[in-house]
Each structure stands twice: as C-alpha cells, then as structure tokens.
Structure 1
C-alpha cells in the first residue's frame, strides 16, 4: 500500500477550481460580447445575453466570496489549475475594464444627444414671430420634461 503524497491534489479542491475557472471563462466571454456590442454602437445586441450574464455574475460573486473567505477550499488543487484560474480571473478583470470604458463612452454620447435635443427644443420655443422696432418677444411656454423610452 502506498502513502498519499502531501503534494497530491485534493479532488474536491481540484473540482472547485475547475468549475470556478469554467465559470470565469464563460462570464468573461459574455462580458466581452457586451463590450463589443457597445463599442460597435449596437447596445441592443447585448440584450440577448443580459439574463445569463447576470445569473453567472451572481454565481461568480458568490463563489469568489466563498473562496476569499476560505482559501483552503482551493488550496488542495494543483499549481497548474490554480495558475489557470488566476489567468482566467486576470482576463475577466481586463474585460470588465474594457466594458466599463465602452459603457461610459455610450453613456457620454447618449447624454450629449439628450442635451443637444433639449437645447434645440428650448431654442425653438424662444423664437418669436413679432416684427418692428418696438416688438416684444412673446412669452415662452414653461419648460417641460422630455420623456425617453428606456428600451431605445
């Protein structure tokens, strides 16, 4: 009968690391698709993945918090597996940063459009049709809110 080596991977830890790595890689892929959609100025293309991305992000948050709280859960996995998980996590962080930039740019553009439309509406309301040297500008209507469709 042979003795088990102290360096032998723990199968439960190995399985946990493998599952967390696969989860991280899948989530990275979905977030990358969303970032690409925003970069292509087609945010509507990201809608198809929102539900799955949210579900996987919640799982990732839960599992990564568990591991942070108890590193022993993955300590028994092989060095190669843990290195793969680290690389997957680094790739995920990079894609999140990319998505943040893409969403911020889309938000900036959208806000600029809303301000331009509001300014144009205000300018149109201030025009008057009076003539002559003593003509007075007609009072403008009170400002009103612009309602936007959140799905647009």
Structure 2
C-alpha cells in the first residue's frame, strides 16, 4: 500500500467535513419542517410565521448545497463511509418529512381557500341579487361595496 500524500489526506478531511455540514443542515431543515407540519396539523398556521425566515434560509442553503453536490459528486469521494451513510439516512428522513409537510401545507391552503370562498358567497347572498332597472325605468342603486375573490391562495 502506497503512503498517502498530505494533499490526499486534506482532501479526505475536507470531504468528511462537508458531509458532516450537509448532514447537520439536512437535519436542521428536517426539524423545521416537522415543527411546521405539526403547527399546520394542529390548525395553527400562524405559529409557522414565527420561523418562516429561518426555514426559507435553510431551504435555500440546502438547495444550493444539493446543486453543488449534484454538479460535482466527487467532492464527497474521499469522505468517510460513516458520514456518507449518515447523509443518506438524513436525506431519507428529510424526504419523508417533506412529503408530510407538503400534505399539511396543501390541507391548510384548501381550508383557507374554502373559508375565503364561503365568506365571499355569504357576502354576496346578504347583498342580494342586483336588479338592473327599477320600476321607473331608472338603474337601481346597488351596494357600492365590492368584494374580490381570488381563487388562488
């Protein structure tokens, strides 16, 4: 077995360090999504607002790091086997939590849209249907207030 150069050992240490950093990032993002999913499932979306900036920052960092690894997978080539397996486990956990989070967010969106639609329909029902012309042939005065319903949240 040939002795390893200092550059090779440094490269391996760097790869192991990067793997550990990505594992930590993945675990932090996973934890944030777990907390958000719990808030959505408890019908408390307002609790998510407190940590939204942190989640966004972690997600952006994760996206950038993932893109770099995808573009150059050799960056982890010399990393430790334990760390590579740890990253696989962390990524699998992240993907499972992400699927749960997507369902929770979608459910909250559907509920919110349903509430807005119900309120808009109730307002329209209370106002009654407008009549175009009165018995005198003049345009009937209607309610000057407007309600806009955007079907997307």
The two structures have a TM-score, normalised by structure 2, of 0.79
**Structure 1 residue 143: deviation in Å?**
7.0
Q: Any stretches of 5+ residues in structure 2 without a counterpart?
A: 131-139
Structure 1 contact 35–102 (Cα < 8 Å) conserved: yes
Aligned to 1:25: 27
Alignment of structure 1 residues 39-54 onto 2, 5 Å: 39-54=41-56
The two structures have a TM-score, normalised by structure 1, of 0.79
Structure 1 contact 31–99 (Cα < 8 Å) conserved: yes
CA distance in 2, matches of 1:40, 1:54: 21
Once superposed, which parts of structure 1, at least 4 consecutive aligned residues long, lie more than 6 Å away?
Answer: none
**Structure 1 residue 146: deviation in Å?**
4.5
**Structure 1 residue 89: deviation in Å?**
0.8
CA distance in 1, matches of 2:129, 2:112: 26
Query: What SS class does the counterpart of residue 10 from structure 1 fall into?
Result: helix
Structure 1 contact 31–95 (Cα < 8 Å) conserved: yes
Aligned to 1:126: 128
Q: Any stretches of 5+ residues in structure 1 without a counterpart?
A: 129-137, 148-152
CA distance in 2, matches of 1:141, 1:22: 58
